[in-house]
Amino acid sequence: MSPSIYPQILEDPLRNRGTAFTAEQRRVLGLDGLLPPAIETLEQQAARSIEVFRRRPGALDKYVNLRQLQDTNLVLYYRLLVDHLEEVLPIVYTPTVGLACQRFHRIFRRPRGLTLSYPMRDRLPELLRNRRQRDVDVIVVTDGERILGLGDQGAGGLGIPIGKLALYTAIGGLDPGRTLPIVLDVGTNNEERLADPGYLGWRHERIAGAEYDDFVERFVSAVEAELPQAMVQWEDFATHNARPILERYRDRICTFNDDIQGTAAVALGALIGAARASGTRPREHRIVVLGAGSAAIGVADEIRQALVDDGLDPEQARRRFWVLDVDGLLTEERDDLTEEQRVYARPAGEPSGGTTLADVVRSVHPTAMIGLSTARGAFTGEVVREMAAHVERPIIFPLSNPTARSEADPADLDRWTDGRALVATGSPFPPIERDGRTIPVSQSNNVYVFPAVGMGVVAAQAARVTDGMLRAASAALGARSPALTDPTAPLLPPISGLRELADHVALAVAVAAVADGVAPERSEQDLHRRIANARWEPVYPE
């Protein structure tokens, strides 16, 4: 092989080491003169890279800096993420990733993953074969219609799968060379995107109905043909598509919906920890859920099953919930509810006194309040003080993303409840200052579960993702709540401990996969060994 083609290694982020190539490697590969003469260790590269990152003036600039590193040197990129996870997580993931999706066409530099556009619907298997990765363990796919709380971002939604898969590797330990981000570019109804001459997606209104369903079917069929062993995670699909897609394919391919099931698993894990910290059992709680989209109903469904597992019959568990949407409490006389929402419809006239959030809290005296509404500030001082007047340790989870759409600021919740609230948020917030102490705010973020689910599936060679596997993840997470040993501690483990936690949760997922009969029979010890062997580490191989 002619040495003249070896410099292509500098263009391959999986193999490029940049200034860490040794003198011998540079000579053999024909890299002399293409790199500065200094030879650095990975540690030196990482120190220099984090300094550059910190000097970037704004969040989006920091995001672009990391994406450029990701496109250049994957080992160095993930070394940075692993060593500084707490610092870079809000940039790689929420809230900055939302802004990156809004500006996707402005910051686009190099292709990553696949954009499957509707006009190419007859060529999807061919497009999948154009991927850089040959073997794929995990696919994260979106259609860009409901990006966080920001709405339809069209093809720019690809930023979400890119960010998610970065965390599959940085936290879950999956090999980045075996992951694939995809956006189904089916148009957009975002007038700002359509009118922008710089928009890079298919400039067409979003397709719907039978055409949309057929396109998704073509995608799934192409995955079955080209990547039959891959797990598919559905991400940020609108409510009217999210659950139907999940139900249509969950028994056909290895798949789950992170907004419905991942959000629910983390929220349940946080609730389990909160219940134990308050000296109660899950079945004792009265739960108000603000929001009735796919994520909110998914959370309610998961917690409802946990109440059944804790001893309630299904009807008793159902009646522990009061769910509200933009029009107020879900009630039986309403004719605008989906089948999934109707499960939580309350009888007409119950509770008495009105159907707003304030009315329901006054009447019901809930012990837990969960927000997935994207309605900023919906958990007002009046509502929270009323709740806190009737329960010693109110459980309050404002889970909407991004930060600007959160139902409440944790500092306000702490002040309104005299420090008694057990709080978890959907987006990152600064620590709370109370009585001279600095108390971190738990972020009920899906990163506590989905990277571990991916590793558990891969290590166990699971053919499906079952409800039992996700409940096992919740239980494993709840069992690690710091609040179990310190009532003033956060509900969830610190971000800095996510990699160690992921191994614990992944093992629970893998064991459940075997128990549910969707993975080959293996002992817990064997599964633990397989997880350790599958973990990819950001180091240059010998």
**Per the annotation, where are the binding residues for a divalent metal cation?**
235-236, 259
Q: What angle do CA 304, 342, 285 make, to 5 degrees?
A: 30
CA atoms of 198 and 450, how far apart (whole Å): 33
118 carries an active-site annotation: no
- Respond yes or no on whether the N-terminal peptide bond of residue 351 is cis (omega within 30° of 0): yes
> Of residues 63, 77, 78, 93, which has the active-site annotation?
93
CA atoms of 180 and 165, how far apart (whole Å): 8
CB 372 within 8 A of CB 299: yes
164 carries an active-site annotation: yes
Using only C-alpha atoms, the chain has a radius of gyration, in whole angstroms, of 24
Strand 442-443: give its sheet, edge to edge: 328-329, 321-325, 287-290, 368-371, 395-398, 422-425, 442-443
CA atoms of 323 and 499, how far apart (whole Å): 34
Q: What angle do CA 516, 520, 524 make, to 5 degrees?
A: 80
CA atoms of 448 and 425, how far apart (whole Å): 13
SS3 331: strand
Strands 231-234 and 138-142 turn out to be: parallel
CB 454 within 8 A of CB 426: no
> Of residues 63, 164, 168, 249, which has the active-site annotation?
164
Dihedral-angle region of residue 30 (phi above 0 means left; psi in -120 to 50 means alpha; beta otherwise): left
Strands (E), 293-447: 321-325, 328-329, 368-371, 395-398, 422-425, 432-434, 437-439, 442-443
How far, rounded to the nearest angstrom, does the alpha carbon of residue 429 sit from its chain's CA centroid?
17
Which residues are annotated binding-site positions? 146, 235-236, 259, 401, 445
CB 34 within 8 A of CB 7: yes
Which residues are annotated binding-site positions for (S)-malate? 146, 401, 445
How far, rounded to the nearest angstrom, does the alpha carbon of residue 476 sit from its chain's CA centroid?
17
SS3 297: helix
> Residue 420: phi, psi to the nearest 5?
-90, -15
In one-letter notation, the amino acid at residue 329 is L
> Residue 51: phi, psi to the nearest 5?
-65, -45
Length of the chain: 542
Residue among 420, 395, 182 at smallest CA distance from 284: 395
Please give the structure tokens belonging to residue 444. Answer: 């009920």
Residue among 449, 509, 457 at smallest CA distance from 138: 457
Active site residues: 93, 164
